[in-house]
Structure 1
Amino acid sequence: MEQLKEELDALKLQLGQIKKDDSSQKFVFTPKPRKVEKFSGRKGEGQSVYEFIDDIVRVLKTRPTSNEEKVDYLISHLDGPAKEEIRYRAPSLKKDPQQVLDILRETFGEKSTASELTADFYSTKQEENQSLQEFSHVLMRKLDKIGQVDHTFISEPERTLRNQFAENVFDKWLRRELKKSLRSRPSITFNELREEAVVLSLDREVHSPRRTPKHEASVYTEAASDSAMVNLIKEMRDELSSLRSEVKELQKTKSTPKEWTQRKERKCYECHEPGHLKRNCPKAKTVTLNTDCLLSRAGQ
């Protein structure tokens, strides 16, 4: 911004010097007549009906001819649906240029009333991701539509546009600063106020500390909550694992009465070893065989 101002000041000095050097010479600037484009009435094609009317009225004022000739000139600059609309109208409804222009305005102009357009204008607010320039252009376009439908509906367009811009910028701090400027400088223009808004916004971004947006704070809160939940789940899992280990150990050491009885009944009374009965004890057979051998030897 500062760089642009410096360049502008330098150019102004250069321009002043040139004017000073050429003060002895006088030039007369004659603007080139603007060519009137044909109006078709198709949406998205060429100029709007209001732009066409402004251009054609300006040209007709410079033509000292009869109404009939002016109507012919006007119709010669129509094309497509617009030309067909005028062609099929009754001759009594197109005797002078104003009647033809009224037909075009009624057929191809804005369908909303001035009141409806004004209500839409006053309800327009800057969106969160919309730049100040874009917001100002939206307001200017909507105000221009109101003037096209009825140029007397808003008595002070410049002041209305300026106040609406200051009242509806998205940033609350900037909105407050712009209102202060309006109170301190009641004669400030819309362009001056918009430029001030841009400068204030840029200056705040450069010098003010970065603030954590609400959505970031929400993310941090959710992250903290998730961390606490993870810790809680971990503690519960550790406790559950400890309980399982304890139950497993108890299952290993615990014996039921049936199992103890079966082990006791299967204990051998001969050798006192588990796993078999006395009649099946291998040691008892060995003892019996040895006794028979000794008795047979004694009888001999």
Structure 2
Amino acid sequence: MANNPTCKSLQKQVTELQNRIKELSWKPSVENEVKRPPSNEKNVVYVQKDRKVPKFTGYNFQVEDWIEDVNTVLHAREMSRQERADFIYLQLEGSAKDEVKYRSHLVRQSPDQILEILQDAFGVKDNITKLQKNFLDRVQKPNESLREYSYVLMDLM
């Protein structure tokens, strides 16, 4: 007889726990939508904003690719115009830094003008005819795979 009170108390606890689970669980509504009971918890989403931008010397990357990377980072961060210009300047080394360093103070405070200077100094300077000739004259080298050759052609394009 000593087991009966224990069995009844266990059954009562199980029933209470089942009821509690029902209260806490998600319940579908009439429109087949899933609704949660109200809660004071907030969902937090972390977005990485400290993406690294490689230093640009003027010749280590194509300037267009580097500018695209910089613009991606600048759009992800909230910065003032001066902070953007400083950020870009800090990513420069060597010839690229010298191109900007010796310009007027007003130019160095404008992120758009800094990027324009870099584009002018290190961007492609050939005219369309010369670029087309380079593309059409490119021949696959004997030790070059078809994949490598196609990448070179895409780069020339």
TM range (shorter): 0.5 to 0.7
> Is residue 53 of structure 2 the alignment partner of residue 39 of structure 1?
no
Q: Return the offset for 1:126.
A: 3.7
Q: Which residue of 2 aligns with 1:73?
A: 87
Q: Which residue of 2 aligns with 1:121?
A: 135
Q: Which residue of 2 aligns with 1:100?
A: 114
Structure of higher RCO (CA pairs closer than 8 Å, 6+ residues apart): 2
Structure 2 residue runs of 5 or longer lacking an equivalent are 1-44
- Determine the C-alpha separation between the residues in 2 that align with 1:112 and 1:85: 20
Q: Return the offset for 1:102.
A: 0.9
Query: Which of 1 and 2 has greater Rg?
Result: 1
CA contact (8 A) 2:49 2:76 kept: no
Q: Which residue of 2 aligns with 1:48?
A: 62
- Determine the C-alpha separation between the residues in 2 that align with 1:142 and 1:124: 9
Q: Which residue of 2 aligns with 1:89?
A: 103
Q: Return the offset for 1:93.
A: 3.0
- Determine the C-alpha separation between the residues in 2 that align with 1:91 and 1:31: 32
Change (3 A) 1:115 1:33: farther
- Determine the C-alpha separation between the residues in 1 that align with 2:82 and 2:46: 33
Deviation per CA, 1:158-204, whole angstroms, max 9, x where unpaired? xxxxxxxxxxxxxxxxxxxxxxxxxxxxxxxxxxxxxxxxxxxxxxx
TM-score, normalisation: structure 1: 0.33
CA contact (8 A) 2:49 2:77 kept: no
Change (3 A) 1:97 1:119: same
- Determine the C-alpha separation between the residues in 1 that align with 2:49 and 2:104: 37
Describe the SS at the equivalent of 1:110: coil
CA contact (8 A) 2:101 2:108 kept: no
TM-score, normalisation: structure 2: 0.59
Describe the SS at the equivalent of 1:122: helix
1:99 counterpart letter in structure 2: Q
Q: Return the offset for 1:100.
A: 0.3
2:117 counterpart letter in structure 1: I
- Determine the C-alpha separation between the residues in 1 that align with 2:86 and 2:65: 19
> How many corresponding residue pairs?
113
Structure 1 residue runs of 5 or longer lacking an equivalent are 1-27, 144-300
CA RMSD of aligned residues (A): 2.8
Q: Return the offset for 1:129.
A: 6.3
Identical pairs, percent: 38
Q: Which residue of 1 aligns with 2:71?
A: 57
Change (3 A) 1:134 1:52: closer
Map 1:199-238 to 2 at 5 A: none
Map 1:287-298 to 2 at 5 A: none
- Determine the C-alpha separation between the residues in 2 that align with 1:87 and 1:34: 25
> Is residue 143 of structure 2 the alignment partner of residue 133 of structure 1?
no
Change (3 A) 1:120 1:74: same
